[in-house]
Structure formats: structure tokens, C-alpha cells
Structure 1
Amino acid sequence: MTNQSSENLLNLPLEIATDNGYKFSWFDWFCLWYPPGWLILFNRHWQHYHQDPEGWNWLEYILFLLPGGFYLALLIRWLRLGCRAPKQNIDEFNPEYQKAFSKEVLAPIVKYYFQGELKQLEHLPQTGPLIVAMNHAGMSFPWDFLTLAELLSQERGWTVQPLAGISLFEHPWMVWWLPAGWSNVLGGVRAEFKAFETAIQQRKILLYAPEGLRGPLKGWRRRYQLQKFDVSFMQLSDRYQVPILPVLCVGNEYLHPLTINWQKLQRLFKLPFLPLSPLMLLLILFPSMGVWAMKTRLRYFIQPLEPLATTDKFANSHTKRTNVYQQAQKLREKLQIQINQLLNHQSS
């Protein structure tokens, strides 16, 4: 199938497109169970549906699988592009590609690798819009978010869009790892207040980490200890009357266990976090493992919808912000109690 005909699949109804779409081959199964191959999965799927002459090629893919081979592949690609970085395209969200990626790549990973499972489905609403607030951790590629988005899509047929750190959109390393515009096309919403508010106004179903980067930054020593919540989700929930659905994930702390954050190098490379653990020795040999995570069972416990936040419309801005901050921290304390109970029940 040519790149042009593959790209045209996205203009067809999904049931037709996926019948003739990307097939998970023996090589993809190999990549799933061989950690340096995960980056190949993402790029191969993208190239099936998009013309991408500047993307990785087969020689470079094979080099990913060899110790230190990624560095040679990077050099070859850099020379192939005329000694420059790949062009950064600004592409819009494509729900059809998100559905194809979810069905053809995410679904096997979620089912066979992370064994993702939704619990307490009686609390899951039938329709949106929603702010799905989840404890985010693991100090790795955001697999706890992607898995939850896939499970919600399977259960309700929803189009779910996660708020994603700015580095996933514009960090110079990302354009080498992942296709240009990948995060935008898959529905990522920049973790900035203006972008968040715009998505809320459009009545979308959004995945949100109230801890922000404080969640993964806390490291292994403080696993499952919820950090201070940001207040933006409470403010926007109140302003636009969009319900908050809390979800507690158990297992995501084991996506990259035994980690501490290497702050000096993190700041030097302008990364959201830089985990130091025994796994980092493998990452040095196989940089394509940067999108990989340890095999763990991800279980999501859906909580009852939170009552809509209320603020006194006659109060001054400082008082309003104080009230919303207090509501956010009360929610954090309530969810921390629930997490502790889940962990105690698991260990008993």
C-alpha cells in the first residue's frame, strides 16, 4: 500500500479504514516484547498513514535494536536530512488517526502488556463533557494516561484527549524520537491554562493530572503520596460547569521503579524530569527505550463524580482563589485516603 493510499484511509469511515489499515505483524509483536522496539511501533504506524520522507527508515530501525545503534541511526538520519533536524509540523487533532492508533497499536499494548482494567464502572457517566482527574506517576512516558484513555474509549466510545506536558510538543529531542506533530494529531492538549480553557469550552472529555509534574517528580520514595493539586481544573470546572471524575490508578508507580529525579541534569537538558535508576544503564545503550516502561498491571478505580465547585460570585479574586485552592486540597486529601485503602486492601 502506498503512503498516499494509506493517508487516504483516514478520510474513510473508521470501520472501513481499519479493515484495510495497519496490521499488527510478527515484527510488531517482537518490538512489543523487546523494549528498544517500542519507538519503532509508533513510527511505523505513523508512516503507514502519513507521507513522512524525513522519518526513520528500515536501516535505522534495525540499528535501534542493537546496543549503541541508536546513535549511529541518529547520525545517518541527520546526514540524510542535510545535517539538520526534522521539520516541526503544526498539525491539528485528527480523531480518525487517534482511533486507528488506539485500535491498531494501543489496544494490544494495553491488553497484553499493561493488562489495563477499569474498576467500579458504576461510577462512570454515560456522556461527557468531563475532566477526568487521575494520579499521574511512574517517571516515564505517560503510559498511565494513554492506557486510561484507551480503556475509556473502549468502554464508552469516547474521544478522550489528555493534557500533556509542553516537552511532548516542542522539546528538540521529541522531533527525533517521534513524528513531527505526533502529540497534536493524537489529541494532546498543551498543559497551559489557555489551551486547557479552550478545550473545556469545546465540551471535550479531558484527562488531567491535578498534581502536574509534581506527581512523577516525587520519585519512588514517595510513591502513591499525592502532591499538592493545581487549582486550574477546579476553576474551570466551576466556570463552565463541567463535572470532575476522579480516577485512582494503582500500578503506575511501577512503570519506572526505584527512581529519583536527577535535578541538575534535568535542568541542564530542560527536561520535565530525568529519572535515575538501574534502568538508566540500559537507556544509555538503547535510547529508543525512552518511550518504553516496565511491565505492570494498571488498574483504574473510578470514583463518584465530584460535586461542582462553587464560589461566591460577589467575593474578590483573592478570596475566590483561596476557596478554590481549599476545595482542591480537600479533594486531594479525600483521594489520598482512598488510595491508602486500596493499597492496604491489595497487601492484605
Structure 2
Amino acid sequence: MQQSSVRSYRFTGFDWFCLWYPPGWLILFNRHWQHYHADPDGWNGLEYALFLIPGGFYLALLLRWLRLGCRSPRSSVAEFDPNYQNAFRDEIVAPIVQYYFRAELHQTENLPETERLMVAMNHAGMCFPWDFIVLAYLLADTRGWVVQPLASVSLFDHPWVIWWLPPGWSQVLGGVRAELNEFEAAVTHKTVLLYPPEGVHGPGKGWSKRYQLETFHPSFIQLCDRYHLPVLPVLCLGSESLHPWALNVKKLARRVSLPFLPISPLMFVFLLFPSMGVWAMRTRLSYYIQPLYESWTDEGSDQTVRTETSEGGTALKVHQGQMAAPPTIRRSQAYRNAQHLREKLQNQLSRLLSQKSDTP
């Protein structure tokens, strides 16, 4: 994106309407993209209007499919564009964070100066990953960091995502597929990586277990050890209310190739307005920065633990939305370190929840 040659996107009265009318969030995302990118396969004005009426999205989808010659939108090879990330953050995410999620960053004295680290955060909500998007915005706004989230491959390639959002949208905004080669490419640059150590089990645990941290996958410990990436743990309160009272229907999720499929009273509204797939309930997101954690200096760990590459190299595979780490001498030690960190964060999370409940 040659941002210097394109007039900045102006948040109009129609955009404010879309912000406060949930079916309009998908319009916000696509209109902003089309302001900076040629997108002949994208949604048009009539189709946007249909988003706003019950059941209209299905007619809009049919009209677009016919307009494209009865085919899916063309895929494209997309690369991270920091200029567009900045534009989207300042022109779309900023008003959402300020007026809708009312997000706050606490304990900022724990933020390090380094820009080469991994941020590990508890993940919940069973919806579009607003807890991560908002944290990325806050870190960039506070420190000026370039922030890129790691995500399951299914969240990039699923047919629903391809029709909802422009091809390559997630990659252009900095999304990193949970694969070894993608991770290594991101690590070589001065960037901050966001990673959910619970994997898809985090948002998939549902409302009843919203404050229970799932088992941390050891891959992030192995990779941080291999590249000497410090981990910045962050605890988020309020993300469970992005899609409250949700249950995860695992069998049905597998049938439609999704990492999780929430069922709640909101799903009846979603069936009438499928464009609400990128929306979430209004809540207050609070982020608590924890002290920096370095796996290779973890108390009780064997400091000789190192991730080794087998002959011919390794591939970081994806299993149920998590990164499967490359072969290592002491994978068991990495697992112990990961669960040690999980226990510390669970204790801290319980303490924060107790303090919150005691506050009048």
C-alpha cells in the first residue's frame, strides 16, 4: 500500500452507524480495505446494504457469487504491510477500542524496552480474536512496537473467512500462520509476536471454564529457548464476555472444519445476520502485564536444554490449531517449564479476580 499517495480514510457518520449496529462491522473492515486496495472481487454497495437486514446476507452472498461468475473470490499471495497495519489500527481499531471495548493496560512498568519478544496471553471469548487485536493496538500505541499475532492456519484459509474478508487480509495486517517457516521469518525481523499458549483450547473451553487456564503447549517454550526470545506474559480480564454463555460443540466444529464452534443465545441472531461473525459483545478489556519470563533461566530447569534441528531440517506442523515444536533433546523439560509458567499465571489470575470481586 502506497499510503502517501492515498488520502487517509475518514471515519464518517455511516461508519459510526456500522460501529454501533453489529451487522455493520464487516462493512467497516471491507470498506477500509477497499479505500486503500483495488478489490474487484470484493463486496459492493448493494451487498453492504443487504448485510443490515435480517437474512439479507444470504442474498448478498448469492448476488456476489453470481457477479463473480459463480466462483469464489480470487486468492492472492499477501505479505505483511506495516503501513496498512498502522492505517487500520488508527482509523478502524482505535475508535472500537476507545468506545466499544474501553480497554486498559495495567502494570506498564513491566513492559521491557526490547522489541524482540513473544507476548503470551490467556485466550477466551469463542469469537473473532478481539482480545488479541486490542492488546496489539495497546502495545503499539504505548511502545510503538510492530506487533504480529500467531494464529491457527484454519483462521486464514477457511471458506467463511475467504468470503467475509478480502483475500490476504489477515496476512497484510501482520497475521503469522502457526507454521515453523512463518514463525522463523517473523523472528528474523524486529517484531513482537502474540501467541496464545493455550492454543485453540483457550477460546474453546467455553463460559463455564473461562477463568481456568488450559494446558500450555510446550512448543512456545522450545522456540523461545531456541531463539532466545523472552516471553512477556499478559493476563486479560473481560475477554470471556466477548461471547458470553457460550458452549463449544466440538463434533459439529470438526464437521465444518473450524477450531471451535460456539453455541449460545447469540447464535440465533447470528443466523439472521452472518456478517456479525467479526463482531463481539461490548465489554471492558483489562490487560495486566507480568514480569518478563526467560525459559532458559527458569527456576528448576536444565539450562542445557536447546532445540536441535534434525538432519534435513524440521517443519513446524499444525495440530488442532497449535504449533507442534521441532524435535528437541528435552521436550519433557519444555513441557514442565510451560506448565510451571501456567501455574504462576493461574495463581496471578485468581488473585486479580479476587481483587476485582472485592472492589465495590
TM range (shorter): over 0.9
* Correspondence for 1:143: 130
Identity %: 62
Task: Look up the SS of the partner of 1:309 in the other structure.
Answer: helix
1:177-192 aligned within 5 A: 177-192=164-179
Note the alpha carbon deviations across 1:255-287, whole angstroms, 9 max, x for none.
001011112221111011110000000000000
* Partner residue, 2:191: 204
Partner of 2:159: 172
Residue 30, structure 1, aligned to residue 17, structure 2: yes
Instruction: Classify the secondary structure of the residue corresponding to 2:159.
Output: coil
Residue 32 of structure 2 is aligned to residue 45 of structure 1: yes
Of 327, 340, 343, 1:330 maps to: 340
Partner in structure 2 of residue 296 of structure 1? 283
SS of the aligned residue for 1:345 comes to helix
Alignment root-mean-square deviation, CA: 1.6
Q: What is the deviation of 1:167?
A: 2.0
Distance 1:193 1:224 in 2: 30
1:63 aligns with 2:54: no
What TM-score does the superposition give when structure 1 sets the normalisation length? 0.93
**Which range moves more in the overlay, 324-333 or 262-271?**
262-271
Number of the residue aligned with 1:107? 94
Number of equivalenced pairs = 335
Show the counterpart of 2:304. 312
- Offset from partner CA, 1:220-243 (integer Å, 9 cap, x none): 110110000011211111111111
1:187 shift after superposition? 0.4
Q: Which residue of 2 aligns with 1:3?
A: none
Residue matched to 2:317: none
CA contact (8 A) 2:126 2:246 kept: yes
Q: Distance in 2 between matches of 1:306 and 1:314?
A: 17
* 1:313–1:333 CA distance, 2 compared to 1 (3 A): closer
Tell me the SS of whatever aligns to 1:173. helix
CA distance in 2, matches of 1:53, 1:228: 44
Counterpart of 1:191, as a letter, is A
Conservation of the 8 A alpha-carbon contact between 2:305 and 2:329 = no
Unaligned 5+ runs, structure 2: 298-302, 309-326
The 3-state SS of whatever aligns with 2:232 is strand
What is the CA–CA distance in structure 1 between the aligned matches of 2:93 and 2:306, rounded to whole Å?
47
Q: Does 1:248 align with 2:240?
A: no
Q: Does 1:158 align with 2:168?
A: no
How far is 1:301 from its partner?
0.1
Give yes or no for contact 2:225–2:306 (8 Å, CA) kept in 1. no
CA distance in 1, matches of 2:22, 2:229: 39
CA distance in 2 between partners of 1:296 and 1:282 (Å): 18
Structure-2 separation of matches of 1:172 and 1:193:
23
SS in 2 for 1:267: helix
Q: Cα gap change, 1:75/1:318 in structure 2, threshold over 3 Å: closer, same or farther?
A: closer
Query: 1:97 is matched with which residue?
Result: 84
Name the amino acid aligned to 1:332.
R
Alpha-carbon distance in 2 for matches of 1:207, 1:193: 15
1:275-320 alpha-carbon deviations (Å, 9 max, x no partner): 0000000000000000000001000000000134254259997651
1:54 shift after superposition: 0.8
Q: Mind listing any 5+ residue stretches in structure 1 that lack a counterpart?
A: 1-6
Give the 3 Å change call, closer, same or farther, for CA 31–300 of structure 1 in structure 2.
Answer: same
Aligned-residue offset at 1:164: 1.5
Q: Which amino acid aligns with 1:322?
A: S
Residues 154-208 of structure 1 show CA distances to partners (whole Å, capped at 9, x for unaligned) of: 0011110000221221111111100011001000000223322332233421000
Which aligned runs of 4 or more in structure 1 are off by greater than 3 angstroms? 313-319
Q: CA deviation at 1:33?
A: 0.5
- Is 1:258 the counterpart of 2:258? The answer is no
Mapped to 1, the partners of 2:247 and 2:184 lie a distance apart of: 33
